[in-house]
Chains A and B, each alone.
Chain A
Amino acid sequence: MANVSESLPEKAGHGEHAHAHPSFLQHHFDTPAQQFNASKLGMWIFIATEILMFGGLFCAYAIWRGLEPDIFDQSHHFLNKIMGATNTVVLLFSSLTAALAVRSSQLGKRDQTSIYLVITILCAVVFLVVKYFEYAHKFHLGLLPGHCFGHPYFSAAIQNGHEVGTCLRIHSDETPGSPLWVRAIDESGHEQLLPPRANMFFAIYFVMTGLHAVHVVIGMSILTWVLVKNIRGRFSKEYFTPVDLGALYWHLVDLVWIYLFPLLYLVGKPD
């Protein structure tokens, strides 16, 4: 310990002498590289926790799909593959522009960084707009989990033949208390008869894509904050950590969607 306390003053003196102490370098780091590596490691640990958070939902998906493969197969025809694929490409493109924003920042090209960040944020808006149309269509059909599926526990008011959205609700027999089946037209124009428990598919669909959409909104906010700081000239070739970490978050949003898209929209028997 004595050795440490003796060497501390000299260490401080040396640090100032060897490296100009830049304004972005916080006092508890020796060098910009140390600060950068610490930030990156922190971000990767955060990304790991995010994966585990989504992991709970992927686990639920795996269990439910294993229990009811036919329900998932039947229900996934209510998702529009083309819109899902469009959104995938939009997100991939936004990932590209995010990576290019980091590259420009690494090269110290401030204006270019701003342009790439703006494009990334605009892509996020496009993604949410497409998502809005997808959600709105399902609301219109009445394919929301819970009472829309006419479980008598939730919907004493929904009577036989009553319409929620545009789907027809029908009892499986004459017993008024029995659950309601849902007759609806899917994305390929086929009439489908969904059992009451099909709401499990729409529950996992709305929760997974909903949590992902929340991440899109958070990602947009982070990138906007990075954009403002970039315009104010806070970043340079020597210090671009926030741009890098903001982009990492955005890539995470992309990664989650890369798995959500096939699992929800694509796997199942084709028409």
Chain B
Amino acid sequence: MATESHQPPSASAVDAHTGHDAGHDHGDDDGAVHVHIASTQFYVGIFVALVCLTILTVKVSYYDFGAANVIVALLIATTKAGLVATFFMHLRHDKLFNTLTFLAAFLFLAIFIVFTYDDLGRRGQVDNDYGGTIDPKTGLAAPGGLPATTATINDVEGEPPAGPATTPAGGEKKE
């Protein structure tokens, strides 16, 4: 609104034409690009925080949290990614819609991974090819498909070869 306010004669014409200036952000008012400019020290501070988090994630990788290893690593990584996106990529002072666009990518990525994972995890319940049955309680076989196979991966690849190796394969590693 303020844009055209110093041009009273043409302001109404512009309003009638575009009808969009009422919703303008304050920064757009004179038509020039206005951005928040952070100080160099601030950016360096963010960098230092990122390096500290990198050191932290390497340090914690020497401890075994079992299944939580991935969660700990991903939490630290997401914190780092958040710092980069918020400050280095200026989302903090950018249009909210840009942030939503960015986050939408992660939403759909989550749908992609969770649904695929779920499909893979439960396919055995309906597909005989994967050695499963429709109903684990009754043992009723799935209609169609090939006869169930009892072959495991070790039948295909064989047992680990004998030798001086200290690390047997298949997860029974002892160190």
Which residues from chain A sit less than 8 Å from chain B, CB to CB? Answer: 3-4, 7-8, 10-11, 13-14, 17-19, 30-34, 36-37, 40-41, 44-45, 47-49, 51-52, 55-56, 58-59, 62-63, 66-67, 69-71, 73-74, 81, 85, 88-89, 92-93, 95-96, 98-100, 102-103, 106-107, 170-173, 175, 178-179, 181, 183, 190-197, 238-239, 244, 247-248, 251, 254-255, 258-259, 261-263, 265-271
**7 new A-B pairs (CB below 8 Å) besides A44-B98, A70-B169?**
A47-B105, A88-B54, A92-B51, A179-B158, A190-B175, A195-B160, A251-B88
**Most chain B beta-carbon neighbours within 10 Å: one of A3, A8, A95:** A95
Asked if B14 CB lies within 8 Å of chain A CBs, one says yes
Closest 9 CB pairs of A and B: A31-B31, A70-B171, A172-B158, A48-B105, A262-B73, A266-B61, A193-B165, A51-B105, A96-B47
Which residues from chain B sit less than 8 Å from chain A, CB to CB? Answer: 3-4, 7, 10, 13-14, 16-18, 27-28, 30-35, 37-38, 40, 43-44, 46-47, 50-51, 54-55, 57-58, 61-64, 69-70, 73-74, 76-77, 80-81, 84-85, 87-90, 94-95, 97-98, 101-102, 104-106, 108-109, 112-113, 116-117, 120-121, 153, 156-161, 163-171, 173, 175
Q: Report if A259-B32 is in contact (Cβ < 8 Å); known contacts: A85-B54, A85-B58.
A: no
**Most chain B beta-carbon neighbours within 10 Å: one of A4, A37, A266, A268:** A266
In the complex, A268→B13 CA distance in Å?
A: 66
A52 touches B13 (CB 8 A): no
Q: Within the complex, which residue of B27, B31, B89, B102 is in contact with A48, where a contact is CB–CB below 8 Å? A: B102
B95 touches A41 (CB 8 A): yes
Q: Give the residue name and chain of the A residue nearest to B97 (CB).
A: A41
Min CB–CB distance A180 → chain B (angstroms): 9
Q: Name 22 interchain pairs, CB-CB below 8 A, sorted by A.
A: A7-B14, A11-B14, A11-B17, A14-B10, A30-B31, A31-B32, A32-B33, A33-B32, A33-B34, A41-B98, A44-B98, A52-B112, A55-B108, A59-B109, A96-B43, A103-B40, A106-B37, A179-B156, A181-B169, A191-B164, A254-B88, A263-B74
Q: Give the residue name and chain of the B residue nearest to A252 (CB).
A: B89
Residues of B within 8 A of A59 (CB): 109, 112-113, 116
**Most chain A beta-carbon neighbours within 10 Å: one of B33, B37, B161:** B33
In the complex, A269→B166 CA distance in Å?
A: 16
Q: Report if A170-B113 is in contact (Cβ < 8 Å); known contacts: A191-B166, A269-B64.
A: no
